[in-house]
Amino acid sequence: MCGIAGFWTASLPGTPEEVAGAMGDRLRTRGPDDRGVWADREAGLALAHRRLAVLDLSPAGHQPMVSPCGRYVLAYNGEIYNHPELRQALEGEGGHFRWRGHSDTETLLAALRHWGVEETLGRLNGMFAFALWDRSERRLFLARDRMGEKPLYYGRSGETFLFGSELKALTVHPHWRGTLDRDALTLYLRHNYIPAPRSIYQGIHKLPPAHYVVVGEDGRSLSAPRCYWDLRAVAEEGAASAGGDPEALTDELEGLLGDAVERRMAADVPLGAFLSGGYDSTTVAALMQARSQRPVRTFSIGFQEAAYNEAEHARAVANHLGTDHTELYVTPEEAREVIPELPTIWDEPFADSSQIPTYLVSRLARQHVTVALSGDGGDELFCGYHQYALGVRLWNRLRRVPLALRRRVAEALSGTPAPTLDAAARGLPRRLRQAASADRLLKLAEVLPPTEGEEFYRSLVSHWKAPEQVVRGAVEPDTLLTEPGRWPDLPGLRERMMYFDALTYLPDDILAKTDRATMAVSLEARIPLLDHRLVEFAWRVPTGLKFRGGQGKWLLRQVLYRHVPSALMDRPKMGFEVPIEHWLRGPLREWAEDLLDEKRLREEGVLRPEPIRRMWREHLSGHRRWNYHLWDVLMFQAWQREHSATPPAIEGLPAGPAQERAAG
């Protein structure tokens, strides 16, 4: 695993090598083992690379790597798991290859030279983001893996084209401007992450998964992102032909997953796995152990709060599998100590609070191994999230209720103070009190008005429902969830939910979280469930074999039960969370109060203080639980303080306090 960065410009203060080297050095934790810089001074282009050596630890894997003919130069981040087969295919087609080593970088460069970019991308099995410079045609190619495991940012800042694995590499370039994108900020408040292709900065984009772009004319010409593997087509074609015998499909899934795990076990450095005790990570660990001659290293984090602790389950699974298990119980103080580091690690606002335990378990694992396999992806592929069960069930009931009645009920609930609702709930039988709490009833009010299942789903996954009312001078952009023309033709809402999550929540939240947390400690994470062959297989599995008997992941569980007794696994699903709700009322209160200070919010001129302060008061009093909304704001505020992004002026007004004075 590595970090890449570079630029293309017509004029530059300083030498290209010095500037590219500084960009690469900001990615040092992604690649602490080697540093490389290459420049085409005549063209004004430079590439930087930081290497975490995992395969072929020798200098033969050094990057940026120049092809033997001298025409192509590659800076690459990731792992190509089928690179031995690609070498055989290249040699079988009559190419004359004198391999310098056994790194997958050399294989990838040879494939790109021999087959071209698009055909090579279609042949790759791996996670990657790369930059390929064609010196002859003066074109730069940027590409990203199918599911979005590895990040890649790009865009123009002034007259310079910039790209990198993380935003922090772009910000050290002399031409960097870094203007806050208020519209992107509205998307962040809705989703707790910024969906691709947006980033927090104007003019800087995330390359979508399974796409590549072509840059020319001294960095001034940029193609639209080109798709080389279409998940929509995969989903539609798979769902249309779905079928098969459950036993045969279980056998096929175990074979595919076993091969995906085995490929991801190839490494010249120590290797292990994250183990939470849930279905996905346990399946990966079980298949790893079945293919290992010695106990696999597994790692889990525990918390003292029982509601947030999965370590006991992980330990029981590890004992059954016979892994070499390491667990660490983290005190609330240790977990909270991570919070000041989050804006630097994630580089742009990111408010999935499971980033804290993800970082902690990554830091624990890195003390023992350099590579760790993860169970990410199982929920999106095999129907594991609660909304696929409870959400669909609720929508099927709600849509039978006349819309006018739903809207009247929603208005009545929304207009009733939370304490009044709680007081009314106290008069109900005990078994109904929790379901009728103010929080639940007010959330119900938010999902009552939608007329379409997709609108209902968007409401379910939204934090701030009207972020334009919070971000000054912003307009919320359209996304996949608001553009029906981009929705797939799938049998039902459950399938469409899985598709939406696979294209949005998975790459922009889950995989971004895993990538930044692991790379911050120089640990490579590999994700067997996102092997594209498994993704294609999962869409060919009938939904009834994913969601069965009111539970998701039915088929995946059948594979797991061949290795681990069902009695050890069948328990309610837990999230990988921390008790932010309680921390905000307790040990984090002073920190939060500083960031949410009304005077501070007004002077910064980005967020309107009134709704934020109201939520903060209600949360502190216990009348409402606003921890998700407040954590969104706090992570933005902490990021803004760390990065000092310059907010753009609203049309006709300067940024900052003058906006508030004029508005008032």
Query: Which residues belong to the active site?
Result: 2
Helix axes 493-503, 453-460, angle to 10 degrees: 50
Structure tokens at 415: 């207009």
Phi, psi of 138 (to 5 degrees): 50, 55
Question: Does 126 carry a binding-site annotation?
Answer: no
Residue 339 counted as an annotated binding residue: no
d(CA 215, CA 225): 11
- DSSP string of 207-264? PPTTEEEEEETTTTEEPPPEESS-HHHHHHHHHHT----HHHHHHHHHHHHHHHHHHT
| CA separation for the pair 612, 560 (Å, rounded) | 45
Q: Kindly provide the b/e burial profile for residues 39-74, where b requires at least 16 CB atoms within 10 angstroms of the residue's own CB.
A: beeebbbbbbbbbbbbbbeeeebbbbbebeeeebbb
DSSP element (H, E) containing 310: none
Q: How far apart are CA 208 and CA 230, in angstroms?
A: 11
Beta bridge partners of 46: 7, 39
580 is an annotated ligand-binding site residue: no
Give the type of residue at 120. T
Other C-beta atoms closer than 10 Å to the C-beta of 194 total 25
State yes or no: cis peptide before 197, omega within 30 of 0: yes
Distance CA 134, CA 19 (A): 21
Q: Does residue 137 sit in helix, strand or coil?
A: coil
Q: Is there a binding annotation on residue 375?
A: yes
Joined tokens for residue 32: 């602490």
| Token pair in block for residue 61 | 């894997």
Q: Say if residue 419 is preceded by a cis peptide, omega within 30 of 0.
A: no
Contacts of 633 (CB under 8 A, 6+ apart): 189, 595, 596, 607, 612
| Contact in structure between 182 and 472 (CB atoms under 8 Å) | yes
List binding-site positions for ATP.
301, 374-375
List binding-site positions for L-glutamine.
104
List binding-site positions.
104, 301, 374-375
